[in-house]
């Protein structure tokens, strides 16, 4: 995910001057991203788990109301 964000932030992408060899050039230059912050990853994971639990519980609630 971090690599996609970094690619979208490049001047080539922002200025819409990318050509078909653009990614090949980045790979040859060993284009990399920084390691993501561990706490941000943990918080994102927790939010995802909470959201899935909320959706599941809400779906169960809706089903019980429909009965």
Q: How confident is the model at residue 58, as a pLDDT?
A: 97
pLDDT band at residue 29 using 50, 70 and 90 as cut-offs: confident
Domain boundaries, the chain: 1-34, 37-67
Looking at the chain, the whole-number percentage of residues with pLDDT higher than 90 is 40
Q: How confident is the model at residue 1, as a pLDDT?
A: 65
DSSP character string of 13-61: HHTT---TTHHHHHHHTT---PPPPHHHHHHHHHHHHHHHHHHHHHHHH
């Amino acid at each position: 995910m971090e690599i996609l964000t970094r690619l979208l932030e490049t001047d080539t992408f922002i200025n819409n001057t990318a050509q078909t060899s653009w990614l090949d050039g980045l790979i040859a230059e060993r284009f990399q991203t920084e390691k993501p912050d561990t706490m941000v990853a943990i918080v994102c994971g927790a939010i995802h788990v909470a959201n899935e639990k909320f959706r599941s519980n809400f779906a169960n609630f809706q089903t019980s109301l429909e009965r």
